[in-house]
Amino acid sequence: MAGYGTRDPREEESLLGNDVDPRSSGTSSLAAKSRRWTILSIVALLGVASVAAGYVVTGYEPSRDVTVIDRARPDSEVVSAPSSKPHKIPILPRACNSVDGGYQCFSEISHRWGQYSPYFSLADAGVSNTVPEKCDVTFVQVLSRHGARYPTASKSKKYKSLIQTIQANATAFNGKTAFLRTYNYTLGSDDLTTFGERQMVSSGVKFYQRYEALTRDHVPFIRSSDSSRVVESGRFFIQGLQQSKLQDRAADHSQANATINVVISEDTGANNTLNHNTCPAFEASTLGDDVSENYTSIIAPSMAKRIQSDLPGVTLSNDEVIYLMDMCAYDTISTTADASQVSSFCALFTEAEWSQYNYLQSLGKYYGYGAGNPLGPTQGVGFVNELIARMTHTAVQDDTTTNHTLDAPRRGHVPR
Ligand SMILES: *[C@@H]1O[C@H](CO)[C@@H](O)[C@H](O)[C@H]1NC(C)=O
Ligand SMILES: *[C@@H]1O[C@H](CO)[C@@H](O)[C@H](O)[C@H]1NC(C)=O
Ligand SMILES: *[C@@H]1O[C@H](CO)[C@@H](O)[C@H](O)[C@H]1NC(C)=O
Ligand SMILES: *[C@@H]1O[C@H](CO)[C@@H](O)[C@H](O)[C@H]1NC(C)=O
Ligand SMILES: *[C@@H]1O[C@H](CO)[C@@H](O)[C@H](O)[C@H]1NC(C)=O
Ligand SMILES: *[C@@H]1O[C@H](CO)[C@@H](O)[C@H](O)[C@H]1NC(C)=O
């Protein structure tokens, strides 16, 4: 977490200037000074090392997050401009893919990809996004995962191998499987796709516009985990935010650009509040996988049977059927920069099957990470306590997964 006013690099201080680490011997009270900062908004980009955390639907699977807090941020940088600046990405508005509405292309399919669905707004689907009358937004916190990415390295290997095996085994490619005869698996791994980069720019634009009353004269505080796709997501978010601010005549242009204030490690052993790996009992639970496996065994066989009938010589396991469904999402968001071309993998399945797939993903998240897992709620405890600490200008009161020091790598450079 960003500290405000640390003079002595040996002192570990919280965002709010209080001594956060009970073990630290720092005694100088910077509390009074820190109270001058009012936290108006927070943006947190978080990522998790292995499995997705199901908080936000913006991107793909697991990775890390970034947090942004508005107003609390003074002018200097904690994290120097990350090594490479993101290249400018033009935002090309499309009828089915816009900043406001999100991704509405092929929605009968693309909105049924579970956590693989690109962000889409429900505002036109009857879920109002307006602020209730007589209410004013005075604080905003965004908890976001990264933008759309390629499959993880391990999944990428499995997908590629499956496709090659199908090509080796099949003696014919009938019907909707015809494209598989020449399909060449060329997807990258782990990184954001171009589409995913644009999503994050759009997210920054949308954040700026939606909370304009705050963003035009407050610089958000931003926190990110250290996986490259999450840090990149933060940079693109900032790019969208700053571009919007630049275009807003009413904005305070004397303010510094937003920057990623804190990067928290996802390494094993690091106390990262937003990383579920810090709780061994939680990690040991296989409930989400068990439930998913059971449901997969209900839905996959009929799909396998149909696809195999078009691919004589091929035998698909339950998991392999799901891999082919995954490929619909990944191929779509990887092939073009605006995901305007639906993948041929998608047509292998019916709309009803996409609903089953969507449910399968929800089961995995609900029983793996959410309220369906007895330890699911513990995942949010540290995060909430950390937020309370910031808002009350007190040290973190928490013995779970909270990083008590919450200091940035370059502690000596924390902003005043
Ligand atoms: C598949 O794509 C790779 C990378 O673009 C290329 O080198 C290779 O020649 C392609 N293979 C086929 C069979 O088209
Ligand atoms: C601030 O952000 C704007 C918009 O992205 C950019 O043009 C400008 O170069 C940035 N300024 C600094 C000092 O980085
Ligand atoms: C807290 O996070 C910072 C920033 O990543 C790191 O340097 C520090 O070691 C962490 N502290 C603990 C106790 O994990
Ligand atoms: C993480 O926190 C625990 C409990 O406070 C502590 O024992 C451990 O040393 C911390 N790990 C790091 C890397 O600081
Ligand atoms: C999965 O199915 C098996 C066999 O029906 C059952 O014994 C087990 O309890 C199920 N597991 C879960 C987590 O539902
Ligand atoms: C391909 O054939 C091999 C050898 O018979 C078999 O082990 C494998 O399961 C098959 N894979 C697919 C996807 O058909």
More confident of the two residues 126 and 269: 126
Domain check: are 293 and 411 in the same one?
no
Q: Please indicate whether residue 182, judged by its CB atom, sits closer than 6 Å to ligand 1.
A: no
Token pair of 82 as six digits: 């990350």
Candidate of 160, 162, 169 to mutate for ligand 6, largest count of ligand atoms within 8 Å of Cβ: 169
Residue 377, pLDDT score: 83
At residue 53, the 3 state secondary structure works out as: coil
Domain check: are 352 and 262 in the same one?
no
Which residues lie below 8 Å from residue 415, measured CB to CB, with a gap of 6+?
A: 2, 3, 4, 73, 74, 75, 76, 77, 78, 261
For residues 208-243, b (16+ Cβ closer than 10 Å) or e, as one string?
bebbeebbbbbbbbbbbbbbebbbbbbbbbbbbbbb
State the pairing for strand pair 41-47/221-225. parallel
Domain check: are 181 and 214 in the same one?
no
Residue 250, pLDDT score: 97
Candidate of 271, 273, 400, 407 to mutate for ligand 4, largest count of ligand atoms within 8 Å of Cβ: 271
Residue 175, pLDDT score: 98
Q: Please indicate whether residue 169, judged by its CB atom, sits closer than 6 Å to ligand 5.
A: no
Q: Where are the alpha helices (DSSP H) in 37-186?
A: 107-110, 153-169
Q: Give 204 Cα–ligand 2 centroid separation in angstroms.
A: 14
Domain check: are 234 and 361 in the same one?
no
In the listed set 339, 354, 373, which residue is the last one of a domain according to the structure? Answer: 373
Tell me the DSSP string of 19-38: B--TT-------HHHHTT--
Residue 69, pLDDT score: 39
Q: Give 269 Cα–ligand 3 centroid separation in angstroms.
A: 10
More confident of the two residues 267 and 160: 160
More confident of the two residues 45 and 16: 45
Q: Give 239 Cα–ligand 1 centroid separation in angstroms.
A: 34
Q: Please indicate whether residue 286, judged by its CB atom, sits closer than 6 Å to ligand 6.
A: no
Candidate of 186, 189, 331 to mutate for ligand 1, largest count of ligand atoms within 8 Å of Cβ: 186
Count Cβ atoms below 10 Å from residue 81 Cβ, excluding itself. 11
Per-residue pLDDT of 99-145, as tens digits, reads 999 999 999 999 999 999 999 999 888 898 888 999 999 999 999 98
Q: Give 294 Cα–ligand 5 centroid separation in angstroms.
A: 6
Q: Please indicate whether residue 315, judged by its CB atom, sits closer than 6 Å to ligand 6.
A: yes
d(CA 52, CA 368): 9
Per-residue pLDDT of 24-73, as tens digits, reads 333 333 333 333 333 445 566 654 322 222 222 222 223 334 444 333 33
Q: Give 402 Cα–ligand 3 centroid separation in angstroms.
A: 10
Among the bound ligands, the one closest to the CA of 258? 2
Per-residue pLDDT of 328-386, as tens digits, reads 999 999 999 999 999 999 999 999 999 999 999 999 999 999 999 999 888 888 888 88
At residue 121, the 3 state secondary structure works out as: coil
Domain check: are 300 and 180 in the same one?
yes
Average pLDDT over residues 206-210: 96
More confident of the two residues 410 and 281: 281
Domain residue limits at 73: 1-149+191-277+378-416
Q: Please indicate whether residue 314, judged by its CB atom, sits closer than 6 Å to ligand 6.
A: yes
Q: At residue 223, what are phi and psi to the nearest 5 degrees?
A: -130, 140
Q: Please indicate whether residue 317, judged by its CB atom, sits closer than 6 Å to ligand 6.
A: no
Domain check: are 137 and 165 in the same one?
no
Among 111, 146, 276, 404, the one annotated catalytic = 146
Domain check: are 234 and 344 in the same one?
no
Average pLDDT over residues 276-304: 94
Residue 329, pLDDT score: 98
* Nearest-atom index, ligand 6, CA of 316: 13
Least confident of 74-78, 292-296, 387-391: 74-78
Average pLDDT over residues 308-324: 98
Domain check: are 122 and 157 in the same one?
no
Q: Give 311 Cα–ligand 6 centroid separation in angstroms.
A: 12
At residue 81, the 3 state secondary structure works out as: coil
* Nearest-atom index, ligand 5, CA of 290: 13
Token pair of 337 as six digits: 């920069």
Least confident of 84-88, 92-96, 348-352: 84-88
Q: Please indicate whether residue 405, judged by its CB atom, sits closer than 6 Å to ligand 3.
A: yes
**CA distances (Å), 212 to each of 13, 139, 196, 231, 312, in order?**
30, 12, 24, 24, 58
Strand partners, 340: none
Domain check: are 138 and 237 in the same one?
yes
State yes or no: is 404 an active-site residue: no
Domain check: are 24 and 38 in the same one?
yes
How high is the mean pLDDT of the chain?
78
Q: Please indicate whether residue 171, judged by its CB atom, sits closer than 6 Å to ligand 1.
A: no
At residue 96, the 3 state secondary structure works out as: coil
Domain check: are 138 and 195 in the same one?
yes
- pTM to 2 decimal places: 0.79
Q: Please indicate whether residue 270, judged by its CB atom, sits closer than 6 Å to ligand 4.
A: yes
Token pair of 214 as six digits: 């705050």
Q: Give 405 Cα–ligand 3 centroid separation in angstroms.
A: 6
**How many domains does one find in the chain?**
2
In the listed set 338, 357, 373, which residue is the last one of a domain according to the structure? Answer: 373
How many CA atoms does the CB half-sphere of 91 hold within 13 Å?
A: 23
Which residues lie below 8 Å from residue 128, measured CB to CB, with a gap of 6+?
A: none
Contact indicator for 53, 151 with CB cutoff of 8 Å = no
Domain check: are 12 and 26 in the same one?
yes
